Amino acid sequence: MNHKEGKLAEKIIELQNDDGTWGQVFHSLSQPNKRYLLTTEQALRRLKGLGFTIKDTPIRKAVDCMTSCLHGERKIDNYWEKTHNWELFTQLMLSTWVRIFEPDNELALKFSKHWSNIIEKAFESGTYNDDAYLKAYICEFSSKPKGSRELDFSDFYHIHLLQGVLSEKVENQLLDYIISKQYGIFYVYNKPLNELPNAFASKEASQYLSAIEILSGYKLANGKLGFIVDWLENNIDENGQWDLGTKANDNVYFPLSDSWKKAEYRKSDCTERITTILQKLNS
């Protein structure tokens, strides 16, 4: 189904600034608040879920803006967090979003190689090693990690950014590490990914699937996530559809259709999303 021509997409596109951004700041992956305009990250994540790609003008404008920022030709905004190396974290955010839509972008790929070098060293012994990670980080960035997002790479940005740039050996080790990590993937899902959600029809299950969607971008994911395939296939209904329930409507990953007033639209959206995940995991 084409959601790019729906009212939800139209509303987001209308809010896009002339320079390709949204709102006043770039950073925020929290659930959108109706009192405030979208952040650029919220808009990009929503449009991606609605099927927009680099071939669509709003995404092209946003990626060109972010690439310009990576070139140092402009700043993305004036927002700043003192608890992080914010300049480096901004590079991380921008490079991640650019690679989500344009994986071979030269500048974003160059930055991802810094992180792949760090992760390769961190897992060189066969398992993750904190000391090796720290030494590699200092070698790549000429400074010590300052904040939690530099000390812990298990988050939305790093796990996206590292797709396609790791050796097969380390990709295998990284996936095992992330799947078993106690707090899941920061910004996305805060529980272990090797433990299924308590209820299938829930907002939690939708957030869980968002983490699986990220991991499905790795070549070795289909060999690691067979238990997800079983879980999804066990929750299909008698009509060959899935239903994550009304609480899954979070204005982040759902809805895809303009309205969930009818259960058939909700089931159609859930089925579309889960079918896409299964296609990736079964490929």
* pLDDT value of position 34: 64
Of the chain, the end-to-end C-alpha distance in Å amounts to: 21
Strands (E), the chain: none
* pLDDT value of position 32: 74
Bond prior to 58 in cis (omega within 30° of 0)? no
Lowest mean pLDDT segment, chosen from 21-30, 49-58, 262-271: 21-30
C-alpha dihedral, 157 to 160 to 165 to 171, nearest 10°: 110
Q: Which residues pair with 16 in a beta bridge?
A: 22
- pLDDT, mean over the chain: 95
Q: HSE on the CB side for 257, CA within 13 Å?
A: 15
Q: Are 231 and 196 in contact (CB under 8 A)?
A: yes
Distance CA 20, CA 62 (A): 4
Q: DSSP 3-state assignment of 274?
A: helix
Q: Are 147 and 155 in contact (CB under 8 A)?
A: no
- DSSP assignment of 232-263 equals HHHT--TTS-----GGG--SSS---SS--SSH
- pLDDT(261) > 90: yes
Q: Which residue has the higher pLDDT, 212 or 32?
A: 212
Q: Which residues contact 171 (CB under 8 A, 6 or more apart)?
A: 218, 219, 220
Residue 112: which of 151, 63, 162 has the closest Cα? Answer: 162
Q: DSSP 3-state assignment of 70?
A: helix
Distance CA 138, CA 30 (A): 30
The pTM is what?
Answer: 0.96
H/E stretch holding 8? helix 7-14
> Long-range CB contacts (< 8 A, 24+ apart) of 271-276?
271/240, 271/241, 271/242, 272/1, 273/209, 274/209, 274/232, 274/242
Instruction: Give pLDDT tens digits for 111-157.
Output: 999 999 999 999 999 999 999 999 999 999 999 998 888 899 999 99
Tokens of 245: 């329930």
Instruction: Give pLDDT tens digits for 214-254.
Output: 999 999 999 999 999 999 999 999 999 999 999 999 999 99
Distance CA 27, CA 21 (A): 11
* pLDDT value of position 35: 57
* pLDDT value of position 230: 97
Q: DSSP 3-state assignment of 1?
A: coil
Amino acid at 13: I
